[in-house]
Amino acid sequence: MTKEKVLVGLSGGVDSSVSALLLKEQGYDVHGLFMKNWDDDNGSPYCSIKEDFMDAAFVADQIDIPLVQISFSQEYKERVFSYFLSELEAGRTPNPDILCNKEIKFKEFYNYARSNDYHYMATGHYARTDNVSLFKGKDNSKDQSYFLHAIDKEVLEHTLFPLGELKKDKVRAIARENNLITSEKKDSTGICFIGERPFPEFVANYLGGEEGEIVDDNDSVIGTHKGLVFYTLGQRQGLGIGGVKDAPDLPWYVACKDLESNKLICVQGNENPLLFSSELETKNTFLIEDSLPKSFDGTAKVRYRQKDQECHVELSKGSMKLFFKEPQRSVTPGQSVVIYKDEKCLGGGEIKSIN
């Protein structure tokens, strides 16, 4: 009986390494693919692409599977990075990791796998699928269904998530038991092309920032911002403003961006009402489940790692409205809201507006 061929995305990290190992132990004909999605590193200390590829190659050799390197850099710039910049200019805060999954990892990677006669593609994401629906990973602290909510249903039919039933400490243990070179490698943070580098420094290479006033909720000037593209709602660090006479130790938070007047509106204290929203509307909405009622109760996350929040969902063509049981802090246009029914991820959309 012919073994089913699986193409695993090997990133050079411990999660993808263990995924490949587990699939081979399960009897699949496993091959690895290292994706290069960003070219402009110029020897930057923040970019680890060369080190990651060497680790992926070493792991492939350790578990005796072939490895190929493919560059999707052009597709990434055209479909992910250009949108990222345009959303920043529009005053929103995009999440390129979600778009990267939709357009690159689970489209270009998937197309490559299918065109080369692989039965499945696999990644090291902490999520589960029955090849029809998407479910949360068993490790609540690592569940990545939030980032995967925009995957096409056809792709899910041919996708494996070997780590979906495992907790992170078990994954590390498996890596150590098999002496994988990535067993103690630190998890990567930040979005794929920025990495650990300071966000304003990176964005300044591509977008100019026009200085303007920082004002409080009474429109009193309290400072100067470097450009609205460098700030996000709820931000506390890097504002360059201290306390006020009556509350010198109470920190400031970004509450709103006024693009028309180029003002950054900030408020003191993380319980200020201007930081909270109870309703939102989406654009670019994608639903994995295609038989949902037009109106139902469920839960949602407006950011990764947030606990599920009870809400009422109303669907319409291409968008949805959410009404939260409890007001949510720092709901940010451009970010994604993802909806759930128990463990099942139903889909989500980009936050277009908040009340």
Helices within 68-167 (DSSP H only): 73-76, 82-89, 96-100, 109-115, 145-148, 153-156
Q: Which one is catalytic: 47, 100, 266, 345?
A: 100
Which of 192, 266, 311, 345 is flagged as catalytic?
A: 192
The confidence score (pLDDT) of residue 46 equals 58
Q: CA-CA distance, 265 to 140, in Å (whole number)?
A: 35
Beta-strand ranges (E) seen in 236-318 are: 252-258, 263-268, 276-287, 295-301, 309-316
Residue ranges per structural domain of the chain: 5-177, 208-270, 277-354
- Whole-angstrom CA distances from 259 to 213, 227, 265, 283 are 11, 10, 11, 20
Ranges of residues in the chain with a pLDDT under 50 are 1
Q: Which fold has domain 5-177?
A: Rossmann fold (3.40.50)
Place of tokens 């309703």: 279
Phi-psi region of 120 (alpha: psi -120 to 50; beta: other; left: phi over 0): beta
Rounded to an integer, what distance in angstroms lies between the CA atom of residue 293 and that of residue 284?
19
Instruction: Give, as one character, the DSSP assignment of residue 245.
Output: T
**Which among 217, 354, 180 has a CA at the least distance from the CA of 283?**
354
Query: What's the confidence (pLDDT) of residue 240?
Result: 87
CA pair distance 7, 3, nearest whole angstrom: 13
**Domain 277-354 of CATH type 2.40.30.10:** yes
Token pair 């200390």: residue: 45
DSSP letters, 171-188, are: HHHHHHHTT-TTTTPPPP
| Pairing outcome for strands 5-9 and 120-122 | parallel
311 is catalytic: no
How high is the pLDDT of residue 6?
98
Whole-prediction pTM:
0.91
pLDDT of residue 45: 58
What is the fold, at CATH topology level, of the domain defined by 208-270? SH3 type barrels. (2.30.30)
Sign of the C-alpha dihedral, residues 99, 104, 109, 110? positive
Q: How far is CA 167 from CA 163, 170, 190, 193, in A?
A: 8, 5, 21, 27
pLDDT for position 1? 44
Pair 346, 150: CB distance under 8 Å: no
Interacting residues of 321 by C-beta distance below 8 A, sequence separation 6+: 279, 280, 281, 282, 313, 314
Q: Which residues are 36's β-sheet partners?
A: 71
Q: What is the pLDDT of residues 16-50, one digit of tens each?
A: 999 999 999 999 999 999 998 887 655 565 567 88
- Rounded to 10 degrees, the C-alpha dihedral 175/176/177/180 comes to 60
CA-CA distance, 234 to 171, in Å (whole number)? Answer: 34
- Kindly report, residue by residue over 161-218, the tens digit of the pLDDT: 999 999 999 999 999 999 999 999 988 765 655 556 667 777 888 888 899 999 999 9
Burial label for 187, CB within 10 Å (0-12, 13-18, 19+), is exposed
Is 266 one of the catalytic residues? no
Question: What angle do helix axes 14-25 and 168-177 make, rounded to 10 degrees?
Answer: 70
